[in-house]
Structure 1
């Protein structure tokens, strides 16, 4: 029997990041977890719980920050999990360098300095082939403008620090799938391949010609991978 699938967005993202994949994906029930509404880890986990009925199993598909939240929830609720798919999302904890970078970001945000339409912002998240594509770079910019610095600040604080989940995922019986973007500058394919071998995951796939925003850049490929998991 087909089971519901929960979709979780990344930092400073909403349902727009998933829309191109949803348009190509056939699922029994599509349920979206609006992490853009949350300002703490507890709220993110509670929003996920709210979308799962008592006694049912669900597939979890989380992008970036959403992948980490999905993994956290799955570890806490293994009997409700049919599968976990982490997309451009690392189960490892933050490195000292990443925590330092986040501290700098928080300082910048508190001073009111945030420009989602800057070339540097787009370059970090979007593959060069898609940086002039309004359906990719334009959506990233629009989400950044609409959700704003307050959401980015809340998401960053809610997920810092970020403990590693690899040991706990090793002990879980549900399938774990990892999807990497081949040219991701934020969560590199090499890191995710290592994580897939460490857990070990039930599948690892690298999406070609894609940066961190692989859901927008390569929805055909991502939807095909997800379809094979949820069928």
Structure 2
């Protein structure tokens, strides 16, 4: 990962093929996918942003990230806590050990060094709404109905500003939409990929 979001996006642009492609991004990847589409609009055919609103992080979220980094530096990291899982998953899915186990395994694979770098690099984000409002490619913003990390008002405002943007809200899911409602998300992706 680069030293900034712009560095990450520059690296992604360098990897794009010459012909326009469909781009999907989940969570932080959704923000990066939106930034990528803005950086190289002629090389992006369509965009699917899952579980993200491409806006600046709230001050409270930035503060929590700084506190987490400080705590990890001081006390070490013991892995993804059940309280964090409860914040990211819809209440009706909390009893699924498969979801929690998968989230913990992903966290473990990422590792503490990558986690800290990701938190540092991606905390300072620009609000991309004004730029996305003029992007003329099919764009889908899809998120769980109970996703506390997505600003519904931000997505709704973008839908009003750009006729190319479609909003897809999936019930029975929080932030971990691919794990909580994989079949419903797959249908939304198939719809997005269908010829226009």
- Normalised by the size of structure 1, how large is the TM-score? 0.75
SS in 2 for 1:111: helix
Report the Cα offset of residue 133 of structure 1.
2.2
Does the aligned pair in 2 maintain the 1:124–1:186 contact within 8 Å? no
Stretches of structure 2 lacking an aligned partner (at least 5 in a row)? none
Report the Cα offset of residue 193 of structure 1.
3.2
Q: Distance in 1 between matches of 2:100 and 2:22?
A: 28
SS in 1 for 2:111: helix
What is the total number of aligned residue pairs between the two structures? 193
SS in 2 for 1:49: helix
Report the Cα offset of residue 114 of structure 1.
3.1
Does the aligned pair in 1 maintain the 2:20–2:45 contact within 8 Å? yes
Report the Cα offset of residue 153 of structure 1.
0.9
SS in 2 for 1:61: strand
- Per-residue deviation, residues 174-197 of structure 1 (Å, max 9, x unmatched): 222110210112225454334433
Q: Distance in 1 between matches of 2:98 and 2:189?
A: 21
The residue that corresponds to 1:226 in the other structure is 189
Does the aligned pair in 2 maintain the 1:178–1:201 contact within 8 Å? no
Report the Cα offset of residue 104 of structure 1.
1.6
Name whichever structure is richer in helix by fraction. 2
Corresponding residue to 1:139 among 102, 111, 120: 102
Does the aligned pair in 1 maintain the 2:13–2:40 contact within 8 Å? no
Stretches of structure 1 lacking an aligned partner (at least 5 in a row)? 1-37
Q: Distance in 2 between matches of 1:138 and 1:188?
A: 27
Report the Cα offset of residue 199 of structure 1.
4.7
- Normalised by the size of structure 2, how large is the TM-score? 0.87
Does the aligned pair in 2 maintain the 1:90–1:195 contact within 8 Å? no
